[in-house]
Amino acid sequence: MNKETFYLTTPIYYPSDKLHIGHSYCTVAADTLARYKRLRGYDVRFLTGSDEHGQKIERIADSMGVTPKEYVDNIVSGIKELWKTLDISYDRFIRTTDDDHVAAVKKIFKKLYDKGDIYKSEYEGWYCTPCETFFTEHQLVDGKCPDCGRTVEKVKEESYFFRLSKYQDRLIKHIEDNPDFIQPASRRTEMLSNFLIPGLDDLCVSRTSFKWGIPVDFDTKHVIYVWLDALTNYITALGYGSNDDSLFKKYWPANVHIVGKEIVRFHSIIWPAMLMALDIELPKQIFGHGWLVIDGGKMSKSKGNVVDPKVLIDRYGIDAVRYFLLREISFGQDGNFTNEALIQRINSDLANDLGNLVSRTVGMIDRYFGGKLPLEHMSTEFDADLKSVAISTVESFEGFMDKMFFSDALSALWTLIRRTNKYIDETQPWILAKNDEDKPKLAGALYNVAESIRVVSIMLQPFMPKTPEIIQKQLNISDSKIIEWDTIRTWGLLPKDIKVEKNTALFPRIDIKKELVELENAIKAAQNETIVSKEKQKEENNEDDSDEIKEITIDDFAKVHLVTGEVIASESVKGSKKLLKNTVKVGDNVRTILSGIAKYYTPEEMVGKKVVIVENLAPRKMMGETSCGMILCAADKNGKLSLITDDKQFESGCDVR
């Protein structure tokens, strides 16, 4: 029998040199749903990826002296590494620079153009580069981007437009007829009243002012503007528009696109309209989750409040981090991230409730029965209630999971965990152990506890990739049939004479006072490690992007240490057409400096050059190499670089003033 399919997606992420815990939140949630659906017997397809085109990337890459492709290749490998660390079980990681995606997007654009749903006109309006979004004058808030509050740029250029307005009525009808299409319900109301009912403008879908994008085949000075390129990933990843569209036939329409609340608009208005224009069925649901906030505000590098998931994973393991994210915050709403809440959850829910339950049970079976229960069991007056809580937990857990109410599902599961701990207190195994005639009762009680732990371990699986297996190992479960999902509805599947294996604590208790200090230091250290390129920092600090020269004081200038140095070795950087890796002698010291000058100097020409360098520039990583400092060049109006050097051949290590 063919299994029912379930296709789910995360947004594709903008390449950023360090994704923070807020980004991980969405992916962890999607992964949990994917795991859950697989356990429930679905044929799951789980897609994630990276959204790599656009002016912002082009500018950052340029400021770093690398090509956009070199820049994104480097960053994307970091994103994939993070997903590996978090055990994200995706089936495909699509990059919008993948050949199959690029080819399919070109075809989609042409198809819409041929149909008359894309037409050429002139765009005049405002553009927010970080958000890759155009705005009309009246959409701006205090003259700034309504989404991120940053400065916008006035643009006027020839553009292709998508006839979004044509689909307005059909969209409203679809949203009204399908209450589950946009979830949670509050976002559905917001889309209707803030965007659809006031009326839709046609959408600009090409640009001519930058190059880093998929070119329009039949008008190559245009590149396809990023949302058409980005949103279509959900179908191109299945082979739509290619020679082999079998996956598309099998998995489309998507069951759910899981996205952050700020991009619900693109997913529930622009994307469905594009699909309507392409005569493709609409996804079944767009789920807009809330943000992980710090002190009420979104995490961002410029605020210096980002939390690196790797720091948390290193300290507490992935299962604890994943648990915290999905337990602490209701999926549709914003939730505050605090170090204290994280440690408290680990201590109370994981160490105390779950960890303790497993370790005391295994410990008692070990202590009272040498690690193996006898076959003779007697019931206690508390059994019926424990069993009925187990059964009702399964029902509520599944109900919540089906609606993506992850926090409620975990809360239901913890009701069973706590009930089981209470059962131990009620049956008092340590008293039963004192009398030989109570041994069957003791065996029966410990069996019930172990059975409850079996059921818990199965329901934990979508959330925790590692712990359930460790628990099942402690219960010595070798028969995989008794850990299949549907077995949670049947009580008593563990062998009566189960053996246990003692092991270390699942989640060691944390000394909260001491840990808070250490954790904060670790998070800060990771923040300082994040070296943001000059351009990016400018954007994030909301600085004006014009070429206007700003005055600085002598004190500002004094902060920049300029010194002379001598290039004593130079080589090209693997995978980069722009960069040279230079070894520069500065006085008695030697340092590595990467420069984007490969187009203008060969490594051989570099050796022996006396140069001026910025000595106190924070180190930054490019193409896997760390650059310490910057070699100064003069750039002509075409961007051609010439080293600032000196015919008198100055000594290395001199101050430049």
> Residue 125 is inside which H or E element, if any?
strand 118-128
306 vs 386, which CB is nearer to ligand MSP? 306
Near ligand MSP by CB under 6 A: residue from 292, 494, 579, 594 = 292
Kindly identify the residues of this chain, within the stretch 45-64, that bind ligand MSP according to CB under 6 A: 51
Give the C-alpha separation, 491 to 384, whole Å. 11
Residue 92 · residue 34 · CB < 8 Å = no
Judge residue 394's burial from the number of C-beta atoms within 10 Å of its C-beta, 0-12 exposed, 13-18 middle, 19 or more buried: buried
Residue whose C-alpha is closest to residue 45's, from 287, 268, 254, 275: 254
299 binds ligand MSP (CB under 6 A): yes
Near ligand MSP by CB under 6 A: residue from 11, 65, 239, 462 = 11
Residue 73 CB, shortest distance to ligand MSP, in Å, is: 17
Residue whose C-alpha is closest to residue 52's, from 223, 226, 258: 226
Helices (H), 137-181: 168-177
Residue 75 CB, shortest distance to ligand MSP, in Å, is: 11
* φ and ψ at residue 145, rounded to 5 degrees: -60, 125
Near ligand MSP by CB under 6 A: residue from 112, 230, 357, 522 = 230
77 vs 649, which CB is nearer to ligand MSP? 77
Near ligand MSP by CB under 6 A: residue from 291, 405, 491, 601 = 291
Near ligand MSP by CB under 6 A: residue from 201, 262, 281, 385 = 262
3-class DSSP assignment, residue 604: helix
Which residue is at the shortest CB distance from ligand MSP? 260
Write b or e for each residue in 92-117: b if 16 or more Cβ atoms lie within 10 A of its Cβ, otherwise e: ebbbbbbebbbbbbbebbeebbeeeb
483 binds ligand MSP (CB under 6 A): no
Give the C-alpha separation, 362 to 537, whole Å. 53
Residue 176 CB, shortest distance to ligand MSP, in Å, is: 24
Residue 254 CB, shortest distance to ligand MSP, in Å, is: 12
The answer, yes or no, to whether the previous bond of 603 is cis (omega within 30 of 0) is no
The radius of gyration of the chain from alpha carbons, rounded to an integer in Å, stands at: 29
**Which region, judged by CB under 6 A, interacts with ligand MSP, from 7-15, 446-454, 478-486, 566-574?**
7-15
52 vs 566, which CB is nearer to ligand MSP? 52
Give the Cα-Cα-Cα angle 115, 117, 121 (nearest 5 degrees). 120
**Which region, judged by CB under 6 A, interacts with ligand MSP, from 8-16, 137-145, 449-457, 542-550?**
8-16
Near ligand MSP by CB under 6 A: residue from 8, 26, 274, 325 = 26
Residue whose C-alpha is closest to residue 348's, from 322, 320, 326: 320
Residue 139 · residue 271 · CB < 8 Å = no
Near ligand MSP by CB under 6 A: residue from 6, 7, 14, 248 = 14
Give the C-alpha separation, 655 to 615, whole Å. 10
Residue 26 CB, shortest distance to ligand MSP, in Å, is: 5
21 vs 394, which CB is nearer to ligand MSP? 21
Residue 94 CB, shortest distance to ligand MSP, in Å, is: 10
298 binds ligand MSP (CB under 6 A): yes
Kindly identify the residues of this chain, within the stretch 186-215, that bind ligand MSP according to CB under 6 A: none
Query: x/- site string to ligand MSP, residues 616 to 645, per CB under 6 A?
Result: ------------------------------
133 vs 427, which CB is nearer to ligand MSP? 133
274 binds ligand MSP (CB under 6 A): no
Total number of residues binding ligand MSP (CB under 6 A)? 20
The CA–CA distances, whole Å, from 333 to 30, 187, 329, 341, 345 equal 16, 11, 7, 17, 19
12 binds ligand MSP (CB under 6 A): yes
160 binds ligand MSP (CB under 6 A): no
Residues in Cβ contact with 281 at an 8 Å cutoff, skipping those fewer than 6 apart: 252, 253, 275
39 binds ligand MSP (CB under 6 A): no
Helices (H), 295-405: 309-316, 318-328, 339-345, 356-369, 383-402
Q: Which residues bind ligand MSP (CB under 6 A)?
A: 11-14, 22-23, 25-26, 51, 230-231, 233, 259-260, 262-263, 291-292, 298-299
